[in-house]
Amino acid sequence: MNISSIAILFGSIITGNILLSYYLGMCSFLSISRELKSAIGLGVAVTFVMAITTPLNWIVYNIILVPLNITYLRFIVFIMVIAGIVQILEMIIERFSQTLYYSLGIFLPLITVNCAILGVNLFMIIRQYSFINSIFYGIGSGIGWLLAITLLAAIKQKISKNILPKGVEGAAISLIISGIMAIAFMGFSGIIPIN
């Protein structure tokens, strides 16, 4: 572990937040943020999947795809690994936490096609992170996503009793809130440059 790993961890949580600065993983971000509890549940699930798949895909990429010179397969292989991990996660959650399982409902399988996860996996390749750094990057991006969805759910819960103009109800107000949150997160940029 060196200083750059820590920088990547915090950078991916705050300055380079996968959700608020790259706008990846929006669909579940908007639809599961109605309730704080399920938002945190989904955030934890996404963090878990990112933290496992990013180093796993680093291994698959650097040990299998690069030596065989078949890096063009990275999209399909990454998706396959993510799908497998999500399947396993779903089985574990179903067995051990009924409440979480039913509150995540249909969105658990949707993690498979959550573009934030594939995005993190691909960024890790483009930025040529080392194995250690990819672990921190996966965890950091997951926590960043968790942080963003938790904040949005908390804000939405806070304003749920307020009367909104008809035109901005539902998804519209969520987008406005996340836009303002993104601007706020922009304020962090420059503290830790992430590349």
In the complex, the smallest distance separating the C-beta of residue 52 from other proteins, rounded to whole angstroms, is 12
Task: Return d(Cα 103, Cα 183) in angstroms, integer.
Answer: 30
Q: Contact between 80 and other proteins (CB under 8 A)?
A: yes
Assess contact for 12 and 129: CB atoms under 8 A: no
Q: For residue 110, what are the CA distances in angstroms to 26, 83, 114, 173?
A: 12, 9, 6, 23
In the complex, the smallest distance separating the C-beta of residue 107 from other proteins, rounded to whole angstroms, is 12
In the complex, the smallest distance separating the C-beta of residue 172 from other proteins, rounded to whole angstroms, is 26
For residue 91 the two structure tokens come to 């089985």
Q: Contact between 92 and other proteins (CB under 8 A)?
A: yes
Give the footprint of other proteins on residues 111-170 (CB under 8 A): none
Window contacting other proteins (CB under 8 A); options: 1-9, 84-92, 118-126, 160-168: 84-92
Total residues belonging to the chain:
195
Q: How far is CA 125 from the centre of its chain?
A: 16
Please select the residue that binds other proteins; options are 6, 64, 183, 191, rule is CB under 8 A: 64
DSSP, collapsed to helix, strand or coil, labels residue 163 as coil
Instruction: Give residues in contact with other proteins (CB under 8 A).
Output: 60, 64-65, 68-70, 73, 76-77, 80-81, 83-84, 87-88, 91-92, 95, 98-99, 102, 105-106
